[in-house]
Amino acid sequence: MNGTYGPAGTTASDAGPPGLPVASGRETLREVWRLSRGYRLRLAATGVLGIVSTGVDLIVSVAIGYLVDRVQDGTADLATVLTVTAAMVLSAVLGAAGTALTIVLATRVYHSILAALREELVGHAMALPQHHVERFGTGDLISRSSDDVTAVADAAPAVIPVLTVTAFTIVVSLGGLAALEWPYAAAFAVVLPVYVLAVRWYLRIGLGVYRAERTAMSARAQQILESQRGYATVLGFGIAEQRHRAVMTNSWRVARQSLRARTVLSMLNARLNVGECLSLAAVLVVGFVLIDHNASTVGGATTAMLLVLRLLGPVNQLLLVIDTLQSALASLSRMIGVVTIPISPADVPAQTANTGVRLDEVTFRYSDGPRVLDDITLDIPPGQRVAVVGVSGAGKTTLAGVVAGTHLPQAGKVTRPGRTAMITQEVHVFAGTVRDNLTLAAPGAADHDLHAALEATGAAPILDVLRDGLDTPIGVGGHPLTDAQAQQLALAHLLLTDADLVILDEATAEAGSAHAAQLDRAADAVLAGRTAVVVAHRLSQAATCDRIMVMEHGRIIETGTHGELVDAGGVYAGLWTAWEAGR
């Protein structure tokens, strides 16, 4: 697996295999700023409302200080107490209402921006070349589009109230201290570097730790996904225990990274407690000195202490959600890492208005393995149907993938039509109705178009056993389809795409079943009049094609019509003889 992506401060053993890129802090900030376009005026209004609401809350501290001074002077009476109480109640009500509205507005903007990012993530991920995704592991991409999106979304209820209150409280409280007596603000400002250094230390260490935790989760997801997808292989080769150990190894890696994250959080907690102690001590000492020199009053010192305590409260709340915030930021940078992956023109096969296919000296290998395709040169004229046959491991499926563009050759050039569609043996039925599955290929198709496609591929009888016809749910949780029915539905789906080039990679490989002839007829209907590459499992299907190519060890060793190759007495003739004998 290529690539050097990974969180700073982690080793290969900690972070697991390299995955898709992770955006830097600057890239993340730039993308969030871009996504905020259209919401910036609302954000500015939210900021103003937040500052005003927090400013109103200062009345409580000032009122208490005022009352303390009046009591000390002996001038306080019932009217003074009632006035101060009314001011405090009114301040609390207005401040709470303003803060609540600020949080609601901030949350709406947050989720609007997150929704836009989620749509871009899915859209960009779907546009990534398949070879790019497979190189880093499908599990990593799935983790980013599920676990990471969930982490960022779930952080909103905990983080947004604390962040909004903390940010505005710090600004307003420092302003209030300066307006009261500048020495109080200076005393608190002297201690601020303790908080700044603590937060800087945490941001430098914490982000890498949380990225490593997310990377470990991606590696675990990849192992679980591979075990589930390859369930039959796992059972067939008796490697269940091996796969179990792989999942457990990655799960323990997640546990270690989670413990590291909690340890870093505890260390931050200790640093902030030191800052809190120093802040209170500094203001108390300054208050004592000012009162001793008649530069302040007991009420002024009380107000200053209340403002500092009011400031430390949100900071402590921020401490409680700082791990959630860091986790969300790590997830956000992973999501944006996918969005910002450049798609180079070199990642996509050249497209032409011509409906033919051209491969010029194409070479392909998986990672650092041996060549799977070795110097393939191939011309398929428009409208010609070409079958690719050969023993297992000859390179047939890889050739189909290179023609389709799911694999990028290491050398050579591939040219194909822009409208290309491919079906493999492992077809997928999406959760939804029959209509939903078919209209994925043609959103504007009317019901009569869907019925025509089903009729052409012999899939119309499927509707006879479905209670609600096209509106019957299928896939997960819906009406189950047999393998043959799923393949017929996939062929109807492909017919609706009206592609210029069709690639069938053993897409009708119901070998030896009662449905083989039916699937062959369905394939003929789909391929009629189109350029086609057919990786043929059954040689009877290859025999009906315009041309047959025989592959061996990544090379094309024979090419010609069925009759020409049988008469030549070569490899294909031997395969055909064995096929006929098997029938």
Closest C-alpha to 323, from 472, 446, 203: 203
Tell me which DSSP letter residue 570 carries.
S
C-alpha to C-alpha distance for 244 and 386, rounded to whole angstroms: 43
Task: Note whether 546 and 532 are within 8 A (CB).
Answer: no
Domain with CATH 1.20.1560.10 in the chain: 22-339
Question: What contacts 527, CB < 8 A, 6 or more positions away?
Answer: 385, 502, 504, 534
Task: Determine the pLDDT at residue 557.
Answer: 92
22-339: CATH superfamily: ABC transporter type 1, transmembrane domain (1.20.1560.10)
Question: What contacts 86, CB < 8 A, 6 or more positions away?
Answer: none
3-class SS of residue 374: strand
C-alpha to C-alpha distance for 298 and 19, rounded to whole angstroms: 61
Q: Is 74 left (phi over 0), alpha (psi -120 to 50) or beta?
A: left
Task: Determine the pLDDT at residue 13.
Answer: 35
C-alpha to C-alpha distance for 105 and 360, rounded to whole angstroms: 58
Instruction: Give the angle subtended at the CA of 295 by the CAs of 289 and 301, to the nearest 5°.
Output: 65
Stretches in the chain below the pLDDT threshold 50:
1-17, 511-512
* Tokens describing residue 244: 């179990």
Q: Following DSSP, what letter does each residue of 14-82 receive, concatenated?
A: HH-S--S----HHHHHHHHHHHTTTTHHHHHHHHHHHHHHHHHHHHHHHHHHHHHHHHHHT---HHHHH
Q: Is 266 exposed, middle or buried (0-12, 13-18, 19+ CB in 10 A)?
A: exposed
Q: What is the pTM of this model?
A: 0.59
* Tokens describing residue 488: 């017929």
Task: Note whether 190 and 342 are within 8 A (CB).
Answer: no
C-alpha to C-alpha distance for 118 and 509, rounded to whole angstroms: 37
Element (H, E) at 509: none
C-alpha to C-alpha distance for 89 and 60, rounded to whole angstroms: 8
| Residue 117: CA count within 13 A, CB half-sphere | 32
Q: What is the 3 state secondary structure string of 103-168?
A: HHHHHHHHHHHHHHHHHHHHHHHHHCCHHHHHHHCHHHHHHHHHHHHHHHHHHHHHHHHHHHHHHH
Task: Note whether 507 and 423 are within 8 A (CB).
Answer: yes
Question: What contacts 219, CB < 8 A, 6 or more positions away?
Answer: 16, 17, 19, 137, 139, 140, 250, 253
Residue 232 amino acid letter: A
Task: Determine the pLDDT at residue 16.
Answer: 41
- CATH architecture of the domain with residue range 350-582: 3-Layer(aba) Sandwich (3.40)
Bridging pattern class, strands 350-352 and 555-560: unpaired
